[in-house]
């Protein structure tokens, strides 16, 4: 096992800081924290940022910290969502590298050792592995990125990152926005890159895009060493009009930057991605108004422009079979529960 002495010693700056936001995560945390503590790379600190939980999350983490001083509890007075929690973790982190770990996910034992080694060899600012998708229904885990896309270690470009954030027919389950890279902390500090605390959806995509825009080099490994829990009530499934609107504004600014730079390829990719977000935005605004009984408002949204009507019609067609399947499985009750994960 690699490592250099006791990473908890006074004044010691660990090689890797693991940031783990947690909100009422008492049921999942032991497995997540254990997977971090058991890493073959031992020179780490594990920052669990308790986002004002109301269950036993804080007490659980404090207890683990007594046994392993690499585990540190950071408590927030008010719930701010994953972006705010991660930013507080960034402020507290001392490691040369920043790693992300969601409270219901887990690492394979040698994950950090692999990624730090690859990043060092390639001079990378970000370095990620493949996700091992682990369904909650007990189905067999599988890598998110198939070998025809990621067969060996290679560099990820901005163009491919944007393109792989929109599902295509050949690979409908692939989305690079869900990757969990490690970051060189000095790069984030130098460019003052932080999470946008206004959003609770696609916050990773926005941060990764900011890294690319600042000139980051991102290397990828095909090894599926991040165990990503696929849950019906995942927060990533709950997209609000507010969050989608902020993402649309970001993309509009990014599209304008690409136009000014004369980068036609990036313009086309960002415009393609923005069309997907536009479609979701108009559909969500329309359906929210309908569900709330604000029929006049729903009509105004639908008839506001030819673009909004087309977006609502297209997304309705896409959502119809999904809605039917969720209804059969009782998915609406699960989604309603998900909305309380981060109020």
297-338 pLDDT tens trace: 888 888 888 888 888 887 788 777 756 655 565 544 333 333
pLDDT (average), residues 250-278 = 76
Q: What is the pLDDT of residue 328?
A: 61
Return the DSSP state at 305: -
Check residues 79 and 336 and name the one with the higher pLDDT: 79
Query: 264-291 and 295-303 are packed helices; what angle lies between their axes, rounded to 10 degrees?
Result: 160
Structure tokens at 174: 């692939």
Lowest-confidence region among 97-101, 110-114, 300-304 = 300-304
CA distance 50 to 157: 34
What confidence category does residue 6 fall into, taking pLDDT thresholds of 50, 70 and 90?
very low
Rounded percentage of the chain residues whose pLDDT exceeds 70: 87
Classify each residue of 150-173 as buried b or exposed e, where b means 16 or more C-beta atoms within 10 Å of its C-beta: beebeebebebbbbbbbeeeeeee
Q: CB burial class (10 A; 0-12, 13-18, 19+) of residue 238?
A: middle
- pLDDT of 9: 47
For the chain, the domains span 16-231, 237-338
Higher pLDDT, 211 or 270: 211
Taking phi over 0 as left and psi of -120 to 50 as alpha, with beta for the rest, 284 belongs to alpha
pLDDT at 124 over 90: yes
Which residue would you say has higher pLDDT here, 139 or 113? 113
Over 80: is that where the pLDDT of 149 sits? yes
Nearest to 226 by CA among 139, 104, 65, 89: 104
**CA neighbor of 122 nearest in space, from 77, 165, 156:** 156
| 281 pLDDT above the threshold of 70 | yes
pTM of the model: 0.78
| Confidence at residue 271, expressed as pLDDT on a 0 to 100 scale | 77
- The Cα–Cα gap between 276 and 287 comes to 17
- The CATH class, in words, for 16-231 is alpha beta
């Amino acid at each position: 096992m690699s490592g250099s002495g006791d990473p908890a010693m006074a004044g010691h700056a660990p090689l890797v800081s693991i940031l783990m936001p947690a909100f009422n995560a008492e049921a999942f945390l032991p497995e997540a924290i254990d997977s971090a503590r058991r890493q073959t790379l031992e020179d780490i600190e594990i920052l669990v940022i308790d986002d004002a939980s109301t269950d036993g999350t804080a007490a659980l983490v404090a207890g683990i910290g007594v046994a392993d001083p690499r585990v540190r509890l950071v408590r927030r007075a008010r719930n701010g969502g994953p972006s705010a929690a991660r930013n507080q973790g960034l402020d507290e982190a001392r490691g040369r590298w920043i790693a992300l770990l969601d409270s219901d996910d887990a690492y394979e034992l040698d994950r950090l050792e692999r990624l730090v080694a690859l990043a060092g060899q390639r001079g990378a600012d970000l370095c990620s592995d493949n996700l091992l998708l682990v369904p909650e229904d007990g189905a067999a885990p599988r890598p998110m990125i198939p070998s025809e896309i990621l067969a060996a270690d290679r560099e990820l470009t901005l163009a491919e990152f944007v393109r792989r954030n929109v599902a295509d027919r050949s690979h409908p389950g692939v989305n690079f926005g869900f990757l969990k890279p490690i970051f060189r902390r000095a790069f984030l500090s130098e460019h003052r890159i932080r999470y946008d605390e206004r959003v609770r959806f696609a916050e990773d995509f926005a941060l990764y895009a900011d890294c690319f825009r600042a000139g980051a080099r991102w290397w990828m490994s095909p090894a599926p060493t991040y165990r990503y829990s696929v849950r019906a009530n995942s927060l990533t499934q709950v997209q609000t009009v507010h969050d989608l609107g902020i993402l649309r504004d970001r993309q509009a600014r990014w599209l304008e930057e690409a136009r000014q730079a004369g980068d036609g390829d990036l313009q086309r990719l960002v415009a393609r991605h923005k069309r997907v977000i536009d479609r979701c935005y108009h559909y969500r605004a329309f359906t929210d108004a309908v569900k709330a009984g604000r029929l006049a408002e729903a009509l105004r949204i639908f008839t506001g422009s030819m673009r909004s009507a087309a977006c609502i019609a297209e997304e309705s067609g896409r959502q119809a079979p999904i809605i039917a399947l969720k209804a059969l499985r009782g998915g609406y009750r699960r989604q309603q529960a998900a909305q309380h994960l981060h109020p």
